[in-house]
């Protein structure tokens, strides 16, 4: 079930808001678990280059993109698909849940300003609910799974250890569902890029993603920037 296809693309803005309210669906925001304060990783990726890349999946890429665009030190964020092949990396095909892709974001960041570990902390605490399996709030299917696509061995090691730390911390009421996967990242269609900034009144954005950015600012004020990355 892909609510943003069935509701927000099929109806006008006013009708879509009413339809979403009538469905009484849970939000993609981690209010189910609450935007819990969590410890940072005990290990980190050593900065060896001026710019590094992180790829995360965690529900609809519109909200994930919006959150990381407002992280200080992030240079760019692209919405796209990871985990499947190039031939099926289209919104219509990925939405069937049969291509192996997850909706994901590719983050280019300056490790001298924000570390990979800090990005992970934001990812697990405010960007999505890492305890949900093959869904985020109203969006259901393997294409909305929680997954990290490490770009090197160091990222894989830090991510694996951090998941173990969070599971042992008792901060979440359910086990972390986030998977470590491999696979190339493919850009989504142009109309998905920079979606929240271009469509700030879109009903899906208002219902599910605005409060994620607000939680980022409230939980990590020192990492927040009001000027979004491209």
> Which residues belong to the active site?
60
Half-sphere exposure of 175 (CA within 13 A, CB side): 4
What is the phi/psi pair of residue 101, to 5°?
A: -80, 160
Half-sphere exposure of 121 (CA within 13 A, CB side): 18
Q: Which residues pair with 102 in a beta bridge?
A: 82
Rounded distance between C-alpha atoms, residue 211 and residue 127, angstroms: 10
- Strands 135-136 and 139-140 turn out to be antiparallel
Rounded distance between C-alpha atoms, residue 58 and residue 188, angstroms: 15
CA-based nearest residue to 229, from 119, 132, 136: 119
Strand locations in 110-224 (E): 135-136, 139-140, 146-148, 179-180, 185-187
Rounded distance between C-alpha atoms, residue 104 and residue 28, angstroms: 15
Rounded distance between C-alpha atoms, residue 59 and residue 138, angstroms: 9
């Amino acid at each position: 079930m892909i609510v943003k296809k069935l509701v927000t693309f099929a109806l006008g803005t006013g009708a879509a808001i009413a339809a979403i309210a009538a469905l009484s669906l849970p939000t993609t925001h981690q209010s189910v678990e609450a935007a819990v304060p969590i410890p940072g990783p005990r290990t980190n990726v050593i900065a060896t280059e001026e710019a590094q890349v992180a790829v995360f999946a965690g529900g609809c890429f519109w909200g994930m993109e919006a959150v990381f665009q407002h992280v200080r030190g992030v240079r760019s964020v692209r919405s796209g698909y990871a985990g499947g092949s190039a031939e099926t990396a289209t919104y219509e095909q990925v939405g069937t849940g049969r291509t192996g892709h997850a909706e994901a974001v590719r983050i280019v960041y300056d490790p001298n300003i924000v570390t990979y570990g800090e990005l992970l902390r934001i990812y697990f605490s405010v960007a999505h609910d890492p305890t949900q399996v093959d869904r985020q709030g109203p969006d259901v299917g393997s294409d909305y799974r929680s997954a990290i696509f490490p770009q090197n061995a160091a990222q894989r090691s830090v991510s694996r250890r951090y998941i173990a730390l969070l599971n042992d911390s008792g901060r979440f009421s359910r086990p972390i569902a986030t998977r470590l996967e491999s696979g190339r990242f493919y850009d989504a269609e142009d109309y998905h890029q920079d979606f929240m900034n271009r469509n700030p009144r879109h009903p899906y954005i208002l219902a599910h993603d605005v409060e994620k950015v607000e939680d980022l600012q409230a939980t990590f004020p020192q990492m927040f920037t009001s000027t979004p990355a491209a």
